[in-house]
Amino acid sequence: MSDSRIIDVFAKASEAKRAVFVAYLCAGDPDLETSVEACRALIDSGIDILELGVPFSDPLADGLTNQLAAQRALESGMTGADVLELVRRVREFSEVPIVFYTYYNLVFARGSEGYAQAAKAAGVDGLLTLDLPPEESAEHLAACEKHGLKTVYIVAPTTPDERLNMICEATTGFIYYVSREGVTGEQTSMSEGIQARVEKIKQHTDLPVVVGFGISNADHVRTVAQAADGVVVGSAIVNCIAENKDDSATMIESLKAKMAALLEDGALSKS
């Protein structure tokens, strides 16, 4: 066992010849108490990593589904302190790795040092700070290293090869390859060339590479699992909350059913 839940979960999956499943929820959607139970439902359904979106008023990388999730969370009164409380509540029943998906404004407002310290103390394992380029990350990286948080950086289809080294050097957890241009959201078909792009990234790093944006059914999961070390599903899960936000019991059943559908017939297995 390493000193990182993130490293351990990828190692365990590799031994089992399968991809890691990363599930995204917006913290506090539709409210704190329901969000705790939504996290529990996903964890009970077998996810490997929980990616928690920190609700933000101007989520530029997110499509409508996740924008509305952030809006619901903020309207319910979620604060930065509440997001940390959510993590502490999850830690009462699970050791699943938790990664914050956040925007740099929220980190900057508290200061990289203070943010990293508070996140680690609550039980967070890694930070994906969407709009912080590696060229401007020195303070952030130092704070994460000091407090034992892994960093996650994004590679896009448009990322030039000359930037890959810089991005990979700033990353200590895993690389997140977004499989298409634009914002988050469910898609009916997967982007072409995922395998080739993942192989290109792996020429620059030994770290795991996960693929997200647009993955919404078991066929998508199977396709990505063959090419990458991990599969990220967000909007397809968040939609279960959006469609049942006024009935928490139905919402939880919907989340469990969606997870069962996404993972049917060993969708994460590598052939």
- Residues 31/76, Cβ–Cβ less than 8 Å: yes
Say which amino acid occupies 213: F
- Spatial neighbors of 206 by CB under 8 A, at least 6 apart, are none
Q: Please, what's the b/e burial string for 167-187 (b: 16 or more CB within 10 A of its CB; e: otherwise)?
A: bbebbbbbbbbbbbeebbbbb
CA dist 168 to 6, 106, 141, 188, 230, Å?
A: 16, 23, 13, 30, 16
- Residues 261/217, Cβ–Cβ less than 8 Å: yes
Start-to-end C-alpha separation, the chain: 26
Which residues have a catalytic role annotated? 51, 62
Q: Please, what's the b/e burial string for 239-251 (b: 16 or more CB within 10 A of its CB; e: otherwise)?
A: bbbbebbeebeeb
Q: Which of 268, 250, 209, 216 is nearest to 46 (CA)?
A: 268
